[in-house]
């Protein structure tokens, strides 16, 4: 994990309670193949390892981490995010299944289930 973080390609959002991590979300930046003559968006993001401990669910913790990750991604030129969840309950809660609503350009947020 240290090697991944030091690579500059991984970002991890966490929430703590009583000095314990209770929720986390990982973002891996994937460098794109350059396209001649096109403006460069250097990478897209792959969101993985999304988890909140049962006792801390339904408190908005995962939502806060996700919103912060989306904001950071937009501010840092990430062209789009891919989320491949093990369940769609969090996606439904966050309205991630509505691609047009999440980011202004269709296809900027791709959710696979």
Q: Quick one: pLDDT at residue 55?
A: 95
DSSP secondary structure, 70-101, as one string: HHHHHHTTEEEEEE--S-SHHHHHHTTT-HHH
**Using CA atoms, how far apart are residues 55 and 65, in angstroms rounded to an integer?**
17
Mean pLDDT for 34-63 is 84
The alpha helices in 30-76, defined as continuous H runs, are 61-75
Is 60 strand, coil or helix?
A: coil
How confident is the prediction for the chain on average, in pLDDT? 78
Domains contained in the chain, number: 1
By three-state DSSP, how is residue 20 classified?
Answer: strand
CATH number at 21 reads: 3.40.630.30
**Full-model pTM:** 0.71
Q: Report the relative pairing of strands 43-52 and 78-83 from DSSP bridges.
A: parallel
pLDDT tens digits along 90-100: 666 666 655 54
3-state secondary structure of 25: strand
């Amino acid at each position: 994990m240290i090697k991944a973080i030091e690579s500059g390609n991984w970002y991890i959002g966490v929430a703590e309670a009583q000095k314990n991590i209770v929720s986390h979300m990982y973002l891996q930046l994937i460098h794109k193949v350059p396209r001649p003559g096109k403006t460069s968006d250097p990478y897209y993001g792959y969101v993985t390892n999304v988890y909140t401990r049962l006792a801390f669910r339904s408190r908005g913790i995962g939502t806060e981490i996700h919103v912060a990750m989306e904001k950071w991604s937009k501010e840092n030129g990430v062209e789009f995010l891919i989320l491949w969840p093990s369940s769609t309950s969090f996606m439904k809660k966050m309205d991630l299944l509505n691609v047009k609503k999440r980011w202004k350009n269709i296809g900027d947020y791709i959710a696979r289930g």
